[in-house]
Structure formats: C-alpha cells, structure tokens
Amino acid sequence: MDFKQLLNELDSVLEKYPSGVLSTYDALGWPMMRWMTVAMIRGQEGRLYSLASPASQKVQQIRINDQVGWMFGTPTKDRVINVQGNAKVLDAPDLISTVIEALGGNLGNFWKVNADPSELCVLETVIMNIDAYRPSEGTHEQAGA
C-alpha cells in the first residue's frame, strides 16, 4: 500500500474507534504514553488532531521535542496502526471549534478532566510514517509521507 492508502485505512479505524495512545518524551528522554481521543479532519490530509490543556505535561513535552508516536487498533487487534510524526501545539479558536466538532460525543472523559473549553489547545500531528499490521492475516504495510 502507498501512503495515501494507509491514511485511508487509519481514517477507517478512527471513524469506528477514535482513541489511540500518544507517546511523547519527558525531559529525561523517557517515553510517556497516554490514551487520547483523536480524529482526522477532511481537507487536512496526513494530519491527526486532538485536544489538550495548554498546562498539560504532553503539551510541555511537545514544545521541547515535537517527535511523537501514536498507536491505534481495533478492539480485537485484527488491525494495529502505528504512526510517527511531528506535533504542533495550536491555539486558533476556529481550529479548536473544528476539532471539538470532529471529536463530537467521544469527549466524555476529556470534559471530566478539562471542564473549561476556553482553556484548550489543539495537538496537530503531521504524519511522517505509518505502519499498519493485520496480525490475523500476517501482513505488515508501511509507508512514509
């Protein structure tokens, strides 16, 4: 598969299962992982979007080292997709609104921790590499941007 086909596969997984594990690096170089709700937005090909508090550790870590990893999968793990990319912290109100709309009803737990929508930023990951595994079929595809 080429990069565009793998992006389409990622999009199809995220439409049904809109959460993944984001990996950043702390100040000592240790990987830090957390579950995040994430979406792809039409017209922004090759990018992932999620919300965060500007005061969160992940935001501070991305400001220091923008290299991130994501892992996504179906509940049965018949499809597992790993993504590597470069993240940016963005605070444009229009983009925040667009991401909130794209993530829709999948933000229940997020709002429990981040109750004030005026204190949000967007994490935008520009995808550089995708690895897609289908363990039940014994296949592995990868492509870079």
How far apart (Å, rounded) are the C-alpha atoms in residues 13 and 128? 18
Contact predicate 7/72, CB 8 Å: no
What pLDDT does 115 receive? Answer: 67
Q: Could you tell me which of 51, 55, 85, 81 has the C-alpha nearest to residue 68?
A: 85
What pLDDT does 91 receive? Answer: 95
Neighbours of 41 (CB within 10 A): 16
Domains along the sequence of the chain with CATH: 3-144 (2.30.110.10)
How far apart (Å, rounded) are the C-alpha atoms in residues 10 and 2? 12
State pLDDT tens for residues 71-128: 999 999 999 999 999 999 999 999 999 999 999 888 888 877 776 777 899 999 999 9
pTM (two decimals) = 0.93
What pLDDT does 123 receive? Answer: 98
What pLDDT does 84 receive? Answer: 98
Chain centre distance of CA 48: 5
How far apart (Å, rounded) are the C-alpha atoms in residues 139 and 121? 37
What pLDDT does 104 receive? Answer: 84
Amino acid at 63: R
- The radius of gyration computed from the CA coordinates of the chain, to the nearest angstrom, equals 15
Contact predicate 49/124, CB 8 Å: yes
Chain centre distance of CA 81: 11
Residue 142 in this model has a pLDDT that exceeds 70: yes
How far apart (Å, rounded) are the C-alpha atoms in residues 45 and 60? 25
Confidence of residue 48 (pLDDT cuts 50, 70, 90): very high
